[in-house]
């Protein structure tokens, strides 16, 4: 394990415990280095299994699992279309998957001996880059390449069309803003989840004296996990709205 891992408090999870118990075992050392990816894939497996069992035999009179899945899908559809309008339904699968994935990862870290991989910037940056590239792709698909360039330049018309400096300045400003979005989106999620985990890890060192604070902060961390998933999904929806508003 790296030296920084010994100085920075962190909640123990199965992989870190195994790596600590078998320090000379190369296999557990590799697991420790890739633990964020492992827990991310664990969430993928859980959500895949849930989707499979909830939809494998759909019924007109749904059971509890199907009813729960339909409730989630209906809520996400209403959330996205409430902002984007009916034409935003094509983005519900992407935004809905993001929300379910992030909230599941966030909550996973509150389960004893498991970990939230969203506490790592590599995970949140990967998610933010997916949003960035899909938004850019959607913008070019809806407006065309030159139409998107025109959008970034502020749609110069009239006298502005014959002025090079102002449209170029607007274009550079909008371009920088587009590249800042994935950085701010990823850091916001990572910092909040990492901060909650760090606080809980410090409180565990207090022993029984810190138990009341640990329980209180765990409940607050659960609320923060839900809020951060909503914020990430909401900002993603707004990014699409800024593109779709040019078409509609």
Q: For residue 49, tell me if it sits in a domain.
A: yes
Q: For residue 27, tell me if it sits in a domain.
A: no
Q: For residue 12, tell me if it sits in a domain.
A: no
Q: For residue 16, tell me if it sits in a domain.
A: no
Q: How confident is the model over 148-161, as pLDDT tens digits? A: 888 888 777 766 55
Q: For residue 227, tell me if it sits in a domain.
A: yes
| pLDDT at residue 64 tops 50 | yes
And the tokens for 93?
């699968």
Report d(CA 169, CA 111) in Å as an integer. 49
Report d(CA 247, CA 138) in Å as an integer. 11
Query: What pLDDT was estimated at residue 146?
Result: 86
| pLDDT at residue 60 tops 80 | no
Structural domain boundaries, residue 84 = 34-247
Among 220, 155, 163, 156, which residue's Cα sits nearest to residue 192?
220
Q: For residue 3, tell me if it sits in a domain.
A: no
Give the pLDDT band of residue 248 (cuts 50, 70, 90).
Answer: very low
Q: How confident is the model over 185-207, as pLDDT tens digits? A: 999 999 999 999 888 888 888 87
Please report, rounded to a whole number, the percentage of residues in the chain having pLDDT higher than 70.
92
Tally of domains within the chain: 1
Q: For residue 151, tell me if it sits in a domain.
A: yes
| pLDDT at residue 135 tops 90 | yes
Among 219, 170, 197, which residue's Cα sits nearest to residue 39?
197
Report d(CA 51, CA 100) in Å as an integer. 11
Report d(CA 62, CA 70) in Å as an integer. 9
Report d(CA 181, CA 178) in Å as an integer. 5
Specify whether the CB–CB gap between 193 and 118 falls below 8 A. Answer: yes
Q: For residue 14, tell me if it sits in a domain.
A: no
Average pLDDT over residues 106-130: 94
């Amino acid at each position: 394990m790296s030296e920084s891992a010994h100085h920075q408090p962190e909640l123990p999870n199965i992989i870190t415990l195994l790596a600590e118990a078998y320090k000379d075992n190369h296999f557990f050392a590799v697991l420790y280095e890739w633990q964020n990816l492992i827990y991310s894939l664990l969430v993928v497996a859980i959500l895949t299994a849930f989707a499979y069992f909830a939809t494998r035999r759909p019924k007109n009179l749904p059971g509890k699992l199907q009813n729960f899945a339909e409730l989630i899908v209906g809520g996400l559809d209403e959330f996205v279309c409430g902002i984007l309008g009916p034409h935003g339904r094509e983005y519900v699968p992407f935004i809905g998957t993001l929300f379910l994935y992030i909230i599941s990862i966030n909550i996973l870290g509150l389960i004893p001996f498991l970990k939230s991989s969203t506490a790592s910037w590599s995970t949140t940056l990967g998610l933010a880059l997916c949003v960035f590239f899909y938004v850019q792709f959607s913008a070019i698909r809806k407006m065309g390449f030159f139409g998107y360039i025109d959008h970034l330049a502020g749609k110069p018309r009239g006298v502005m069309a014959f002025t090079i400096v102002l449209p170029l300045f607007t274009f550079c400003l909008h371009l920088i803003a587009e590249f800042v979005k994935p950085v701010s989106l990823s850091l916001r999620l990572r910092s909040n989840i990492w901060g909650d985990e760090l606080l809980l890890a410090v409180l565990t060192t207090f022993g029984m004296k810190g138990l009341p604070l640990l329980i209180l902060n765990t409940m607050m961390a659960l609320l923060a996990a839900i809020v951060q998933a909503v914020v990430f999904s909401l900002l993603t929806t707004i990014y699409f709205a800024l593109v779709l508003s040019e078409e509609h």
